[in-house]
Chains A and B, each alone.
Chain A
């Protein structure tokens, strides 16, 4: 069974700092990997989706990379802002068994 792990569980940084969030998964048989943002008491907002054949995706200050062979993905956030404070989750869509698997998330606090 696929296991998705996110490190660190919580992160606190001063405004303006660049940061990296990590996601690892155990089974490389995936369609894609997605990064989501979740604000307290809310649903998830999709940030980036990387297909299994791709290496990275970029959107604004966000860059996500995927190394399927090693089972790793990183989310890079440039020039962090207080509005980036949220929980960030990664999820993989398996291409066998019709399942989605989520990590437990990294809670990010950007201090003004």
Chain B
């Protein structure tokens, strides 16, 4: 079955540590996205990528970094500069930006601070 796989499901970060969240898709989609979801708030866009080796900042990119070396993969690193990392992180993909095709989401990674 085609879809998006996020791992791990739960992740704990120590103070001063960088952690990387994995997102892999086998839908052959060009566009991929990372969102953060906090209780009582809507999803907020962290980064998105429209094509391999290209990515753009969303509204809340500070303290995060991404790479897009392969079409299938779009890992997100939460750096020590992100002072409030506790949240539910969702990865999504779509055929392309502005393509009027729905976004497909993974099942998320819940990140907590130790």
Contacts and interface: CB of A to CB of B under 8 A. Distances in A.
Interface string A71-112: 000000000000000000101010100111111110000000
B103 A104 contact: no
B107 interface: yes
Contacts, number: 59
The range of chain B's interface size is: 20 to 34
Contacts of B43: 44, 89, 91, 100, 102
B100 A104 contact: no
Given A42-B108, A43-B90, A31 B100 contact: yes
Given A4-B42, A89-B42, A102-B43, A45 B59 contact: no
Interface string B18-47: 000000000000000101000011111100
Contacts of B59: 99
A26 B45 CA distance: 18
Most B CB contacts (10 A, CB to CB) among A36, A44, A51, A91 go to: A44
A49 interface: yes
B42 A49 contact: no
Given A4-B42, A98-B48, A49 B108 contact: no
Interface of B: 4, 6, 33, 35, 40-45, 48, 56, 58-59, 90, 92, 97-98, 100-108, 110
Contacts of A34: 102-103
B88 to A, nearest CB: 8
A64 to B, nearest CB: 12
A93 to B, nearest CB: 7
Contacts of B90: 43-44
Given A31-B98, A99-B58, A45 B41 contact: no
Given A49-B100, A89-B43, 16 more contacts: A4-B42, A31-B98, A43-B4, A43-B105, A43-B108, A44-B43, A44-B103, A44-B105, A89-B42, A91-B103, A95-B98, A98-B56, A100-B45, A101-B42, A102-B35, A104-B42
B57 to A, nearest CB: 10
B42 A32 contact: no
Contacts of A104: 40-42
